[in-house]
Chain A
Amino acid sequence: MAISIPVEHVLYLAALLFLLGLVGVLVRRNVIFLLMSLEVMMNAAGLAFVAAGAKWGQPDGQIMFMFILALAAAEVAVALGLVLQLSRRFETLDVDAADELSG
Chain B
Amino acid sequence: MEHLWLVPALPLLGFLVLFLTEGRLPDRVVAVVGAGSVGLAALVALFVGYQFTQSGVASHPQVLWTWMAVGSFAPTVTLHLDSLSLVMMGVVTGVGFLIHLYATGYMWKDHEEPRGYSRFFAYMNLFVFAMLMLVLGDNLLVLFLGWEGVGLCSYLLIGFYHRDGANGYAARKAFVVTRVGDTALALGLFLLFWEVGTLHIQDALDQAAALDKTTVTVICLLLLGGAVGKSAQVPLQTWLPDAMAGPTPVSALIHAATMVTAGVYLIARMQGLYLESADARHVVALVGLVTLLVSSFTALAQTDIKRILAYSTMSQIGYMFMALGVGAWSAAIFHLMTHAFFKALLFLAAGSVILAMHHEQDIFKMGGLRKKLPVPFWSMAIGSLGLMAFPFTSGFFSKDAILLTAWTEAGWLYWGGGVLAAGLTALYTVRMMVITFWGETKTEPHDASHGGFSRTNMWLPLVALCALSIGGGWFGIGVLDDTLGALIEVDSHFSPVALATMAMPILMIGLGWLIFTGRINVQGLVDSAVGRGLRRFFAGGWGFDWVYDRVFVGPFVWFAKANKGDFVDWTYRLTAGVVRATHYVAALTQSGRLRWYAANMAAGLVVLLLFVAGWL
Does chain A bind chain B? yes
A9 to chain B, nearest CB (A): 19
Residue numbers in A under 8 Å from B595 (CB-CB): 25-26, 29, 34, 95-96
Bound-state Cα–Cα, A44 to B599, Å: 18
A101 at the interface (CB under 8 A from B): yes
Which of chain B's residues 560-604 have a Cβ closer than 8 Å to chain A? 586-595, 598-599, 602
The answer on a CB contact under 8 Å between B590 and A25 is: no
The answer on a CB contact under 8 Å between B588 and A103 is: yes
Bound-state Cα–Cα, A75 to B362, Å: 84
The answer on a CB contact under 8 Å between A103 and B593 is: no
Residue numbers in A under 8 Å from B599 (CB-CB): 26
Residue numbers in A under 8 Å from B586 (CB-CB): 103
B540 to chain A, nearest CB (A): 63
Residue numbers in B under 8 Å from A98 (CB-CB): 592, 594
Residue numbers in A under 8 Å from B592 (CB-CB): 98-103
Bound-state Cα–Cα, A38 to B602, Å: 13
A20 at the interface (CB under 8 A from B): no
Which of chain B's residues 241-261 have a Cβ closer than 8 Å to chain A? none
The answer on a CB contact under 8 Å between A103 and B598 is: no
Chain A 79-103 interface mask (CB, 8 Å, partner B; 1/0): 0000000000000000110111111
Which of chain A's residues 12-48 have a Cβ closer than 8 Å to chain B? 22, 25-26, 29, 34
Q: Majority SS of interface residues in chain B?
A: helix
A92 to chain B, nearest CB (A): 14
Residue numbers in B under 8 Å from A29 (CB-CB): 595
A102 — nearest CB in chain B belongs to which residue? B592
Which of chain A's residues 28-72 have a Cβ closer than 8 Å to chain B? 29, 34
Bound-state Cα–Cα, A41 to B268, Å: 91
Total number of A residues with any Cβ neighbor in B under 8 Å: 13
The answer on a CB contact under 8 Å between B589 and A103 is: yes
Which of chain B's residues 47-90 have a Cβ closer than 8 Å to chain A? none
A101 — nearest CB in chain B belongs to which residue? B592
Bound-state Cα–Cα, A76 to B91, Å: 84
Bound-state Cα–Cα, A23 to B222, Å: 83
Residue numbers in B under 8 Å from A25 (CB-CB): 595, 598
B177 to chain A, nearest CB (A): 54
Residue numbers in B under 8 Å from A96 (CB-CB): 593-595
Bound-state Cα–Cα, A34 to B591, Å: 18
The answer on a CB contact under 8 Å between A103 and B594 is: no
Bound-state Cα–Cα, A82 to B587, Å: 26
Bound-state Cα–Cα, A99 to B591, Å: 7
The answer on a CB contact under 8 Å between B593 and A99 is: yes
The answer on a CB contact under 8 Å between A26 and B591 is: no
A25 — nearest CB in chain B belongs to which residue? B598
Q: Out of A22, A95, A101, name the residue touching B602 (CB < 8 Å).
A: A22
The answer on a CB contact under 8 Å between A26 and B598 is: yes
Residue numbers in B under 8 Å from A95 (CB-CB): 593-595
B595 — nearest CB in chain A belongs to which residue? A26
Bound-state Cα–Cα, A90 to B587, Å: 24
The answer on a CB contact under 8 Å between B590 and A103 is: yes
The answer on a CB contact under 8 Å between B598 and A101 is: no
B586 to chain A, nearest CB (A): 7
A19 — nearest CB in chain B belongs to which residue? B602
Residue numbers in A under 8 Å from B590 (CB-CB): 101-103
Known: A26-B595, A103-B587, A103-B590. 20 other contacts (CB 8 A): A22-B598, A22-B602, A25-B598, A26-B598, A26-B599, A26-B602, A29-B595, A34-B594, A34-B595, A95-B593, A96-B593, A96-B595, A99-B592, A99-B593, A101-B590, A102-B590, A102-B591, A102-B592, A102-B593, A103-B589
Q: Can you name 17 A-B pairs with beta carbons within 8 Å?
A: A26-B595, A26-B599, A34-B595, A95-B593, A95-B594, A96-B594, A96-B595, A98-B592, A98-B594, A99-B591, A100-B592, A101-B592, A102-B590, A102-B591, A102-B593, A103-B586, A103-B592
Chain B residues packing against A (C-beta within 8 Å): 586-595, 598-599, 602
Leading 3 A-B pairs by shortest Cβ distance: A103-B590, A99-B592, A102-B592
